[in-house]
Amino acid sequence: MSTYAHEPTWRTALSGAQILFVAFGATVLVPLLTGLNPSLALLGAGVGTLIFQLCTKRQVPIYLGSSFAFIAPVIYSVQTWGMPATLGALAAASFFYYVAAGLVKWRGVDFIHRLLPPVVIGPVVMVIGLGLAQVAVNMATGKAGEAQVVPYETAIAIAAISLLATMLTAIRAKGLLKLVPILVGVAVGYVASLFAGIVDFGKVSAAAWIALPEFGKPEFNLAAILFMIPVAIAPIVEHVGGILAIGSVAGKDYTESPGLHRTLLGDGLAVNVVGLFGGPPVTTYGEVTGAVMLTKNYNPAIMTWAAGFAILMAFVGKFGALLQTIPLPVMGGIMVLLFGSIAGIGLKTLMDAKVDLASPRNLCIVSVTLVTGIGGLGVHIGSFSLQGISLCGVLAVALNFLLPKSSDAH
């Protein structure tokens, strides 16, 4: 931690606020789509990040936010078993994290490196970014689900302004501005939105200043738990990819120190605690890794500030409501850059390891992983389903084990 001691507190706090801005849209989108409470999602993201930092001795610059992998399962579970049983099942989904952490502790981190070499991790990290490409494009074109929330022409213009402001700040800015390109993009996009008349302050005036979030009441239903536990495979694969991605960005091997078993344990405990009080499950956030890559600020204390702000915001009704007035296309324009940055990290993983794509074996693994992941292929066996990131992750690992090693040594 001493390498960051010279950094002024206000600058660390400002960087923390920026991280929260980056993660805010996705953090509250999951509860809005699943019927969970957005304030509890913010509280969960904050508390979850602090639990993670406690388990990893505050060494990893990672922020935990609402997991997209659970959206469809939560909607199905609420319809089938009701909200209390779903919350209990979400808390139980942490079981697989503990198993994974135990395996790593038992077999060592080399086991994970053998399981997940660069030829597997590279395309999976690319899918984590590109698999969200449609979300970014929908936001940039003013769409929420199927509904056109902002007129198309206005949305595209606002998204372009936000994206351009972020890119120019990241490339050309000096000093303090260089550290906060995303905040600059949000601010410029917000001002443009005010001129375009697409900012709705209705929620702000209706919200209370201080409001205690309404906590959920979990119940434990075996059928719901058995349905939900396998869903955790996806965020675990995503977690390992996320830890390797942030390690690649920061130039450190976080699987060695503090150790992948600690990061998995921290993520699992966070999922457990957040589920018990009614928030959506949390996972390592790729867009935050994108932001860290853009700003080149790897201080884990930034995430502590982001977590603190998230917890505060959960109790300040008007602040949460004000942030929800940021129009969709503003965040959409910025997400175009961030999700692309994540894909770039995956590509960098392949290049740094000098993965030979002229080798038919490597080409098979990368090709199948990219197409199944980005295409959103799903496999459903009864109530068990694997799709998107989780399926392509499992496929990549399986292909790496099953395909014979190339005989050609060129």
- Give 409's pLDDT tier (boundaries 50, 70, 90): very low
pLDDT of 2 > 60? The answer is: no
Distances (CA, A) of 190 to 94, 111, 159, 250, 327: 38, 47, 10, 31, 7
User: Higher pLDDT residue, 68 or 38?
Assistant: 38
DSSP 57: T
Give the highest mean pLDDT range of 314-318, 366-370, 373-377: 366-370
Burial class (CB in 10 A: 0-12, 13-18, 19+), 74: buried
Question: What is the percent of the chain with per-residue pLDDT over 70, rounded to a whole number?
Answer: 92
Between CA 4 and CA 179 the distance in angstroms is 15
List alpha helices for 180-259, DSSP H. Answer: 181-196, 202-206, 222-228, 233-250
Q: Residue 179's pLDDT band (boundaries 50, 70, 90)? A: low
Please count the residues of the chain.
410
Condensed to tens digits (0 to 9), the pLDDT of residues 49-101 reads 999 999 999 999 999 988 877 776 787 788 888 999 999 999 998 988 998 89
Average pLDDT over every residue of 221-237: 77
For the chain, the average pLDDT equals: 85
249: left (phi over 0), alpha (psi -120 to 50) or beta: alpha
- Residue 349's Cβ-side half-sphere holds a number of Cα atoms within 13 Å equal to 30
Measured from the Cβ of residue 326, the count of other Cβ atoms closer than 10 Å reads 18
Name the band, by pLDDT with cuts 50, 70 and 90, for residue 410: very low
pLDDT at 1: 43
